[in-house]
Amino acid sequence: MSKFKYVIKRSGAIVPFNEDRISNVIYRAAVSVGGRDKERANELAKKVIQMLEEIYDEGHKPYVEEIQDIVEKVLIENGHAKVAKEFIIYREEAANRRRENSRHFSKPNELIPWKKVWRSLNWALTHKLNTVELYNNRIKLGQFPHIVHESESLYETQLDTAAELIKDRSSELRMVMVSGPSSSGKTTTTMKLEQRLNKMGMKFVALIVDHYFFDLEMHPKDEFGDYDFETPQALDLELINDHLKRLAAGEEVLIPYYDFKAGKRFDNRTPLQLHENEVLLIDSLHGLYPEFSREIPAAQKFKLYLEPLLQMKMDDGQYIRWTDIRLMRRMLRDSVHRAYQPEQTLLHWHYVRSSEKRTILPYSNTADYIVNTSMAYELSLYRTKLLQGFIEWEKKYANDPLREDAYTRSKRVRKMLESIEPIEDESAIPGDSVIREFIGGSSMNVH
């Protein structure tokens, strides 16, 4: 039992000292460089605590930075230089994000696809949908069905363009990767894109990347029992690369099968091979991550990136955040298809964002084409379905220093949803809309 009872977070909040957090952060860094030895992570965590106790007196409340400094020292002194390097890089990236969030920079954020954003804003201005006030005015005039039609038409036009771009490169392509952060609409978009390309004479073979997950017990887990399966390292990247390379060469491979109920992977299950005029179609969070397909030449890949790039400003001058849209989408989808309550999705979201910032968003500008999957009307639906939940979560986590992220998001989303005109009648929304992927009623057989 450690002699420390509390830790001081960067915010100044004092929280209970938890030895598991040290073990978790070491294991997480190890996973990032291919290591998966939880016992070794536990041993190293004990060494960190031992060193803390040698340095500080009983009753001392160590700062997070003090603990992290010792983690670095223990990793290096025990021969884990690669893990230490990953941990140091993670700390530096986190520090940079905090600095960027605390002040304004003159240079644009490199994580944002600015060209596509400007086009989306121009469309919103043209359709009087660039502010919440203008949007609400149109809803009050009974124009919800018109907004649905305008939004869906924009999305479909983008898919037409993407299909034409892919067709133009069909002679050299071996795979098309549909990528984007969580709940950006990859499943529906992939299916609609395949329909278009089939009509153009292209044949597709789907590769379900989820079958390449490592066993659940090998993923990092926090003190609340929540597994972090959002990182690309949750996937067997070595096996994926081996299979992609062999498939591109026309060889047959045996795809693994992942049993999500048991949390286990079974290798060499399903044969897969690309024949003449066939292209591999991959729907994955991490399709743009360099290590995902490092063995495949760029000429053989078409990379499509999706993000709900809604351009709608609130009364306080702030734009509605894309991550909040995706959070609500995932809450609704998880509750229907994954028996995962919206509150659980909220509490897990910090893992989603952490992984996105490191391994998804930085590569958005390497895509061959970007699709804005936002629908100007979708927030009215989420107000009806989720507002009460956010009101309750804001109250519940207001004074919980361990759940600062959940509280901050709940407060922000609650305020935003309260400003939006609600809509309960969903009949104007097409059965094949990307939004149906989240609210239900899709005719696309998504899951």
144-193 residue pLDDT tens = 999 999 999 999 999 999 999 999 999 999 999 999 999 999 999 999 99
pLDDT at 105: 46
pLDDT at 32: 78
| Largest Cα–Cα separation, the chain | 73
Amino acid residing at 202: M
Q: Mark out the alpha helices in 103-201 (DSSP H runs).
A: 114-126, 132-140, 144-168, 186-199
Residue 48 CB partners (closer than 8 Å, separation 6+)? 22, 26, 67, 70, 71, 74
Task: Quote the CA–CA distance of 317 and 86 in Å, as a whole number.
Answer: 38
Is residue 182 a contact partner of residue 352, using CB atoms and an 8 Å limit? yes
pLDDT along the chain (447 residues), means of 10: 80 81 83 81 87 84 86 87 80 68 53 88 97 98 98 98 95 95 95 94 92 87 69 92 96 95 94 93 94 94 97 96 98 84 94 89 94 98 98 96 95 98 97 96 80
Domains in the chain (CATH in brackets) are: 6-102 (no CATH), 114-439 (3.40.50.300)
Query: How does strand 278-283 pair with strand 14-16?
Result: unpaired
Amino acid residing at 167: K
Tens digit of pLDDT for each residue in 301-348? 999 999 999 999 999 999 999 999 999 999 999 887 777 899 999 999
pLDDT at 374: 98
Amino acid residing at 261: K
Task: Quote the CA–CA distance of 239 and 208 in Å, as a whole number.
Answer: 13
- Model pTM? 0.82
Burial readout 266-297 (b: 16 or more C-beta within 10 A, e: otherwise): eeeeeebebeeeebbbbbbbbbbbeebbeebe
Task: Quote the CA–CA distance of 330 and 238 in Å, as a whole number.
Answer: 29
